[in-house]
Structure formats: structure tokens, C-alpha cells
Amino acid sequence: MERHVKENPSEGQSPVTDPGHSVKCSPVVIDDVLLNGTTLDIPAAEEFIHQSMAIIVEDAVKKATDVREKVCEWRSPDQLKELLDLGLRDGGESDSKILQRCRDAIRYSVKTTHPRFFNQLYAGMEPYSMVASFIAEALKPSLYTYEIAPVFTLIEDAVLRKMMELIGWEEGGDGIFNAGGSMSNMYAMNLARYNHSPDIKEFGLSAAPQLVMFTSQECHYSVSKAAALLGIGTKNVYVVPSDKRGKMILSALENKIKAAKSEGAFPFMVNATAGTTVLGAFDPIEEIADICEKHNLWLHVDACWGGAALMSKKHKHLLKGIHRANSVAWNPHKMLMACLQCCAFLVRDKTSLQLCHSSGASYLFQQDKFYDISYDTGDKSLQCSRKADAFKFWLMWKALGSSQLEERVDRALAMARYLAEEIKKREGFRLLMEPEFSNVCFWYIPPSLKNLPDGPELYEKLHTVAPVIKERMMKTGSMMVGYQPHGDKPNFFRMIVISPQVSKQDMDFVLDEIHRLGKDL
């Protein structure tokens, strides 16, 4: 696709004609590199993109969302390395070879848009968000200044304002789209620490007392990672017990805060989870907010998974009290199905992000620009280069409207309830607990174990069942469902229901297939 020019072009000729300049000129060579014209064959590049898009539409869209196709075509790492020929060489390959590599990459990837992919907290094909992704990748914007990304800067601002409205911050706030929910939780921890001890920004940890924070045992692992990265320390993350449904126990939180103070530590933050990863539990935000107010603590709500319930009049009660949070993490790429990744961090205070993170790089954030520099958002971000992720949510939202997004949430939760009821009807299946969100957790008990009483022997044998069934479903390619242990409970399946492509027939298929794959165990 890039044209290779002769070392010694004939006098007075340019080997590659600039389509905008037909005038012949003397060759210009610097460091043995000819600089006349372009080395990129634009028509060939356009043709390659056309051919690539045809493959994407056929293999990564149509086939990947066809319930008759496999969710995955499993190969071991060694087999896949050989199939893909991963080595990089001095010489390039032909476009036809590269197109085949595109087909292979799609073929051997997991089809997370498939109707029977239930493995993660995201799933399904979202056409409007997908097109937005294509546009953003084609334009290659970076959201640090308005001058380089005017359209996407304004779109991000509009989306954040609407999300704040749904949270209930009547006076607005601030926010930023970033590289993941884990990053959002780190933002929250850094802002909470800055709010407590602003001198840390300039003088580092030497200016900090022993700061401690509180989170439930069901929280996302990114909380402890953020504490380690920011120098707070994982030992200063006080883990609060949760009840049997996975919700933070309020009395235990109070006791932990009092104990920390009695030890001479300085509490600065509570992390509440709205939609835990495994059980889909929602911490009691309103009551936690009361405790935070009493002790003057920053309240962060990790609603990366459960934030979508704010779109639903029927289910937004799950996040009652979220308007009292100081900050919120919310990932539209999860239940709302925006293309990965699409993650918002929102903060009620309008100046915290800027004060905490600004460094005033003069080559980007000049104060004498000819436009309103309040739209130069990059200085409040930890990243410099930042993708136009909000566009993927905005275009989808414009296409569907809030009403269809609400229907998407309501249908996912209704489908989860249907699955839970079917599990209770079927011999050999046992529900871990009634689902609060769209996480449905259950055991499959093969016929060989059905007469064993509850106890250590059953649990030990049951622990081995889910991994074998998971291996078989992966190698068959029929579907993907996750599993894990939890506390003292043996391995169980965790179904995540999201996609509007999914029907009750797919729920029935999952239970039938698990029985088919595991009945001999």
C-alpha cells in the first residue's frame, strides 16, 4: 500500500505524483529519503478499507450475532499461536494475506455479541455505538483540547450533564470519560484524598497522615489496586462485612470507622457498590450517606455495573440516595451496551478534578487562546491522549432515546427473573439467591450427586462440576457462562443477562445445555 520509490529518480521528476500538485519539481532528498510527493497509495488504502469492512460486516457482525453460529472456536494458546503466525518480520505482506489475517482474528475470537454470551458484565451487538466507534477510529481525535476535538468535546459535556441529571445533582457537577471503571475508582480515591489533605499534591505522602478508607467485602478489586497505586496502602482499606445478600452491613461500617479513629488513623472515604460483580448486590446508599455525613467522609458510589438502573423508573430505587454521593463511577458499556470501552467518572464538586490533577502544560493549555478554554478538558484528566468514548454513548442515546434505554434495562431484569423461576422448577438446579439485578447465580447438581445431603462431601464434589461444564461448553462453542466460588460456597454459575437479542428460548437453552454437558458427571 505504501509505494516504494527508486533510490535515484530521473532528474526533474517526482516518482509519486501529488494529486493536488501536478507541477514537476526537482527531487528533494534528505538522509537518503526522497521527500517529493507521498508514499501512501490512497486509492489502494481506500480499497483495502472497503474490503476489510465487508469482512467485518459478514464475519464480525452477521455471523457473530447469529445464534446458529458458535460463540467461540476454542484453540489452546499453542495451537492459536501456530494458526495465527504471530511473528513480525522485516518485509510486509500482501493485502490479500492481511485480509485473511483479519478473517482469522475474527474467527478465533470470542463473539461477545453472540446471543448466548453470558460470561461478563457486557454483551450484545449495539449498531449505533458500533458505528460511532468506527467514526471515532477513522477520525483519530484526542480529547484534551477543544481545538483538536471540537465535536467530541461538546458531546462529552452534553452526555456528562445528562448523566448528572439522572443521578440527581440538581446543580450539576463535573466529570470525565476515562479508560475504565477501575480508573474511575482511582479518580475517586485521589479526589477524596485531595479533599482531605490537599498538600499531598505538592508534597507527596510525607504530608499525609495515616489515611484509611472503607469498602465492603463485595467491592471490586480495583479499590485495593487503587490504594496500592496511590500509596494509601492496601492495609488501610478497611473491609466491611456484607450480609448474606452481599450488601454492606451498616453497623459494621460504623464500628470500623470508630475503631480506625481510636487507632489514630484518619478516615477519609467510603466506597459503596451499586451492583456487585458476582451477586449483583446494591449497598444501602442512603444509609451509608448518613454515616458519611456524620463523620465528614467522602462518599463514592461504584455504579459501574448498576448505574444503568438509573434509566429505569421501575428499578432506580436500587440506587436510592445516590444524589448524596460525592462521586460516581458508571460504565455505559455494561448493561446499556455502548461499545467498549465507555466509562464515566462523575463528581458533584465542579472544581475538584481540575484542582487535583491540573499541571498547566503550556504547549496544550495556553490561556490566551481565541475560544472559550473552559472546553479544554485535558488538564483535569490523568490521561493526555483520550478517546472519544462519550460519542459511542451519545449516538446510541440519540438513536434510541431514553425510553428505549429504559426498556433495555427493564427487559434484562425481567429476563433474569424468568431464568430464576425456571431454575427453581428444574430438578438438578439450585438458585443461590433471588436475583436483585440481572446476575443469576445457581448450581447444577448432576444426577450422581442428587441424593447427597448438604454438607462437606456434596460441596467438595459440587465444586468440581462447574469447571468441567465450562470447559465442555467452551470446546463445543455452544455458549459462555461464567462460574466462581464465593466465600465458603462451592463453584456456581453466574449468568449475566443483558442483550435485547436474548429471548426466553435462550434462557431455556442455557439450562438444557448445562444439563446435557454435565449429566454424566
Same domain for 419 and 320: no
As a whole number of angstroms, the distance between CA 440 and CA 417 comes to: 8
The residue type of 82 is: E
Same domain for 273 and 311: yes
Q: Look at residue 491 and tell me if it is in a domain.
A: yes
Q: Look at residue 117 and tell me if it is in a domain.
A: yes
Q: Look at residue 251 and tell me if it is in a domain.
A: yes
Residue 400's beta-bridge partner residues? none
Q: Look at residue 419 and tell me if it is in a domain.
A: yes
Q: What is the dihedral of CA 334, 337, 339, 344, to 10 degrees?
A: -50
Q: Which of 367, 387, 407 is the last residue of a domain?
A: 387
Same domain for 117 and 104: yes
Interhelix angle 285-295/250-262, rounded to 10 degrees, is 20
Q: What is the pLDDT of residue 2?
A: 59
Q: Look at residue 260 and tell me if it is in a domain.
A: yes
Contact status, residue 405 vs residue 398, Cβ threshold 8 Å: no
Same domain for 374 and 234: yes
What is the tens place of the pLDDT at every residue in 95-127? 999 999 999 999 999 999 999 999 999 999 999
What is the tens place of the pLDDT at every residue in 493-513? 999 999 999 999 999 999 999
Mean pLDDT, rounded, for 67-72: 96
As a whole number of angstroms, the distance between CA 189 and CA 271 comes to: 9
As a whole number of angstroms, the distance between CA 438 and CA 445 comes to: 22
Cis peptide before 341 (omega within 30 of 0): yes
Can you say how many angstroms the Cα of residue 89 is from the centroid of all Cα atoms in its chain?
Answer: 34
Q: In what order do the strands lie in the sheet with 489-496?
A: 117-118, 480-486, 489-496, 439-444, 429-431
Q: Which domain holds residue 79?
A: 58-127+391-520
Q: What is the pLDDT of residue 376?
A: 85
Would the pLDDT of 5 be above 70? Answer: no
Total domains present in the chain: 2
Same domain for 473 and 383: no
Query: How many helices (H) and strands (E) would you count in the chain?
Result: 15, 14
Same domain for 150 and 112: no
Q: What is the pLDDT of residue 39?
A: 84
Q: Per the structure block, which three cell numbers stand in for 323?
A: 444524589
Domain of residue 432, CATH code: 3.90.1150.170
Q: What is the pLDDT of residue 23?
A: 60
Same domain for 376 and 242: yes
Q: Look at residue 416 and tell me if it is in a domain.
A: yes
As a whole number of angstroms, the distance between CA 277 and CA 284 comes to: 16
Same domain for 432 and 405: yes
Angle, CA 225 vertex, CA 219 and CA 227 arms, to 5°: 95
Sign of the alpha-carbon dihedral angle for 189, 193, 198, 199: negative
Place of cell 455504579: 303
Same domain for 176 and 82: no
Q: Which of 370, 387, 404 is the last residue of a domain?
A: 387
Sign of the alpha-carbon dihedral angle for 29, 31, 32, 33: negative
What is the tens place of the pLDDT at every residue in 8-50? 444 444 444 455 555 667 889 999 898 888 888 899 999 999 9
Burial (CB < 10 A; 0-12, 13-18, 19+), residue 217, is middle
Give the rounded percent of residues in the chain with a pLDDT score beyond 90.
85
Query: Comparing 11 with 448, which gets the higher pLDDT?
Result: 448
Sign of the alpha-carbon dihedral angle for 157, 163, 167, 170: positive
Same domain for 112 and 192: no
Contact status, residue 476 vs residue 100, Cβ threshold 8 Å: no
Residue 33's beta-bridge partner residues? 30
Q: Look at residue 291 and tell me if it is in a domain.
A: yes
Question: Any alpha helices (H) in 33-124, and if so which ranges?
Answer: 42-55, 77-84, 95-107
Q: Which of 332, 362, 387 is the last residue of a domain?
A: 387
Q: What is the pLDDT of residue 38?
A: 83
Same domain for 346 and 242: yes
Query: Comparing 207 with 76, which gets the higher pLDDT?
Result: 76
DSSP letters for 443-478: EE--GGGTTSPSSHHHHHHHTTHHHHHHHHHHHHTS
Domain of residue 147, CATH code: 3.40.640.10
DSSP letters for 487-504: TTEEEEEEEE---TT--H
Q: What is the pLDDT of residue 1?
A: 65
Which residues lie closer than 8 Å to 232 by C-beta, 6 or more apart?
189, 193, 211, 213, 226
Same domain for 207 and 121: no
What is the tens place of the pLDDT at every residue in 142-189? 998 899 999 999 999 999 999 999 999 999 999 999 999 999 999 999
Mean pLDDT, rounded, for 366-371: 84
**Over the chain, what is the mean pLDDT?**
93
Would the pLDDT of 314 be above 70? Answer: yes
Q: Look at residue 190 and tell me if it is in a domain.
A: yes
Query: Comparing 5 with 229, which gets the higher pLDDT?
Result: 229
pTM score: 0.93
Mean pLDDT, rounded, for 266-288: 97
Q: What is the pLDDT of residue 207?
A: 80
